[in-house]
Structure 1
């Protein structure tokens, strides 16, 4: 009897050991492919605030004087104390501030609106406080998006492709009980985000930003900056424009330099060369050794060597498949080389998605044909040489094939399957009444309604173009000729927010020369700046305006030139200083479904390093033999704030 019991115990222990070993084995396969670990228990905030089946109700309770001061001084991005009621639960002494890039530029310059994007920091006044594990929460105002869905659908596509994506869901905001507007709540990508996706906060997270916009201008590696919550700012007086010889007609900002290393182009081993990356480090534990790891990655990227060693190639290809479909150029794929995160773990880098209100060709493109026919193998508005994170991968035929497969996967499994159409329909039913009654909306309800059929057609036409490119029926490195009748402007684009401030196009459909003048003449912008430099007053003379019109500028563009002039450095007589580096100011933020997150064909048949399994398996045996209960292996405890704890 004793022998039988002993044999039973041994058998059960063996079964348990085998099962546990398989779990670890599969976990390491997933880690080796850097797929999202869906087995990690999600913190409560994921289900409470990022529930896609509902619009969360938010009420911000704040002193009226503090609220008015916040709106009047939004560009300072300073926190104010408030209480916030989230779906009936009150959280006290929370920090709130304005946030954004394009929205923080456009809103204060528009006397008709105070609709800023906001950031909530739960621990600003109470150390360790969080919203059921969430450190910070962003409320994005849907500026430049008539559909109110661009960012939502973009994140959904990244989820579809198994990319680590911030939580997102709609929320209706009130201020002191008065309706304020419909926003998209987005999880701020910091420690809590990394832990819920990857199981711990190991590694290093960067938000490259070499030219962050805002009402205070752009950071271009200038030492005269303010570091507020990893958001770098610089005085607009330091903005500069490139000389005419360096203007790239396909590049919205002129030469593609990926300010301060954000293009990931290797420029030497000096850490200061990459201030756009390292000045925007998210984790406090990141140090010089970690910086050197990133530089070593860029060095190998520049030569196209050891890419698998330094890059999660599969993840990066999936990211760019989605970004290319979306024609999202307010990103690494654009001239500004921003709005993305770099996550490094064990020396390997991923690129993570962020900020999609200008996706669906809302930035640097407004020609519908160019948007639909955007080339999949030259998927940047900058040069490929200045975009090595994608160009060096596409130089290798085996990687290009995988990238093409992911483009096809997205088209077939998300667009042609009907998911895209169903999502638009579902979201419309969810938010349409909120949009109809939104008192601060940038677009009318009629504009919203009219934009949805165009949004649906965009997906269909873009899918048709991509399939044609994959089949060799259309060029993949230059623009094709798939016909489309979509009204791209009706979706909303970068500008005042109403979709009616559309810049001129060059022959490729890319915005060029800072939105001004005859795009066939690269000297137009330079000549225009020379004209306004001659004035010592804030207003231009009629003669100067006539000269500008002779260059091809219309009244709106002249007005914008005057606004730019007011931001230029001036000499003692009040005239704009001669400077060859001035850049015109421009406006530019639910957990994954278990079954839909990872497609079967997404897991590559990579060889598994058996040596990597020795340590975890040995550790498991040691734990079993030592009879250490599994329950003692604890993950990070979230410091949560609940209604009861606030009493």
Structure 2
């Protein structure tokens, strides 16, 4: 029924418009039991408000409250799926513990209240996320865990949150800067990609407070990351009708299960992804290179990928295609071909596999792709084959040169690093808040203060190495 006073007034106002009570009941004032509900903040009737959710000049605050029973349920789910209780191995004072993946299923969602700017969002879906970042922090007993928020995940169970949004956003990802003493890599690398003309998720810093059932604790500075299939594609590509994939594939062959669809799930059509992989591995690559390139470019935005690759290999990235078969999206853009979207940047912009954090991580045997790509084997065909093709390799070098001269200069990078470090410093090492102990991935405040210099030195080194490569 939709005969609450507020809905009755709206129904009366709609008399003569052709809308029935039944038609409007599903989408007007779905948060009527929440006094904080407003159209601007909670409804799905507004465009995403990037200025509020992703500010670039301030650090927002997010408060999450769970009961002791919620935390117990999370621990039980993690132990069942991944074989380890919280703090089950490793150290507990900011150490990295045992890195590496531990399970393939996503953790379960629980329904929790989230508070922001004095307003509450009820029954928000909260779940842990990540691979090595989650594995290490969980086993080490670090409460600064990576997590994801889904604002209408439980709308079927709780109709009052039907189509609930967070200033226009349905889902948001929270990165704790695992293995990154600077705490800014996730943020600045996304900025760098966009500055170079490569669409990437919007990011912003948040102070996060979590009550695990025993009182609110400060869990430090997180980077909020826009979810690709929620708002990013529509915002930066202008539409989101095409297939969005989050693959776990090296592209040696097409295996449907390796191409997870993030939209259009009910349409059993993977033909665009299959056509791309087929074109990439076609035998014409060695017999008729021009034909191979033409067919590949019908299915895949190659020049855009070469631009991404030039940026990615210049800055150094230990956790993406070439090292791991994940951390990227493919979107069938308006042009009708798949376009590469980068994802997950906390382990980039560093010369060590630990991602610029505690060296105890060791990198798990990962190897970042060099600027020349000379070491890459055929097990990574999208790297090896474009590097082998003289036309594509020349374009790749042109993109690297442009990036080096117009974006990745020491002046530009130093300004970017200093701005973001200064922005979060009061909330990492004080005086307004301090990350400490088991509520931080930092083993000491000195590691944070020295990280800025490490980042700046990395840019100098990479500029020298890439310049030498381009000669």
Comparing 164-173 with 86-95, greater Cα deviation is found at: 86-95
Is this contact kept in 1: 2:48–2:231, CA < 8 A? no
From 284, 294, 308, the counterpart of 2:264: 284
From 330, 338, 355, the counterpart of 1:349: 338
Is this contact kept in 1: 2:353–2:367, CA < 8 A? no
Task: Report what 1:299 is aligned to.
Answer: 278
- Offset at residue 454 of structure 1 (A): 1.3
Is this contact kept in 1: 2:186–2:346, CA < 8 A? yes
Is this contact kept in 1: 2:64–2:114, CA < 8 A? yes
**SS at 1:200 equivalent:** coil
- Offset at residue 124 of structure 1 (A): 1.1
**CA-to-aligned-CA distance 1:301-331 (integer Å, 9 cap, x gap):** 1134112211111210111111101221311
Matched, 1:449 2:453: no
- Offset at residue 66 of structure 1 (A): 1.4
Unaligned runs of 5+ in 1: 1-41, 210-261, 268-272, 472-647
In 1, the alpha carbon distance for the partners of 2:351 and 2:173 equals 23
* 1:62-81 alignment, distance < 5 Å: 62-71=66-75, 73-74=77-78, 77-81=107-111
Task: Report what 2:415 is aligned to.
Answer: 422
Instruction: Mark the structure with the bigger radius of gyration.
Output: 1
* 1:526-565 alignment, distance < 5 Å: none
Task: Report what 1:521 is aligned to.
Answer: none
In 2, the alpha carbon distance for the partners of 1:285 and 1:89 equals 33
- Offset at residue 348 of structure 1 (A): 0.6
Task: Report what 1:510 is aligned to.
Answer: none
TM-score relative to the length of structure 1: 0.53
From 129, 136, 154, the counterpart of 1:125: 154
Task: Report what 1:438 is aligned to.
Answer: 435
CA distance 1:428–1:344, change in 2 (3 Å): same
Matched, 1:322 2:300: no
Matched, 1:134 2:173: no
From 358, 363, 369, the counterpart of 2:353: 363
From 243, 248, 263, the counterpart of 1:204: 243
CA distance 1:327–1:157, change in 2 (3 Å): same
Unaligned runs of 5+ in 2: 1-45, 82-106, 156-161, 286-291
* 1:182-261 alignment, distance < 5 Å: 182-209=221-248
- Offset at residue 94 of structure 1 (A): 0.8
In 2, the alpha carbon distance for the partners of 1:291 and 1:165 equals 23
Is this contact kept in 1: 2:185–2:346, CA < 8 A? yes
**SS at 1:173 equivalent:** strand
**CA-to-aligned-CA distance 1:84-118 (integer Å, 9 cap, x gap):** 1123332222111111111221123214x232111
In 2, the alpha carbon distance for the partners of 1:407 and 1:148 equals 26
How many residues in Structure 1 have an aligned counterpart in Structure 2?
363
In 2, the alpha carbon distance for the partners of 1:315 and 1:468 equals 24
In 1, the alpha carbon distance for the partners of 2:312 and 2:274 equals 25
CA distance 1:61–1:350, change in 2 (3 Å): same
In 1, the alpha carbon distance for the partners of 2:76 and 2:133 equals 14
Matched, 1:263 2:250: yes
- Offset at residue 347 of structure 1 (A): 3.6
Task: Report what 2:181 is aligned to.
Answer: 146
Alignment root-mean-square deviation, CA: 2.5
Quick one: higher RCO (CA 8 Å, sep 6+), 1 or 2? 1
In 2, the alpha carbon distance for the partners of 1:65 and 1:386 equals 46
**CA-to-aligned-CA distance 1:109-158 (integer Å, 9 cap, x gap):** 214x2321110000112332211221211111111111112222211111
Task: Report what 1:493 is aligned to.
Answer: none
In 2, the alpha carbon distance for the partners of 1:425 and 1:51 equals 17
CA distance 1:344–1:363, change in 2 (3 Å): farther
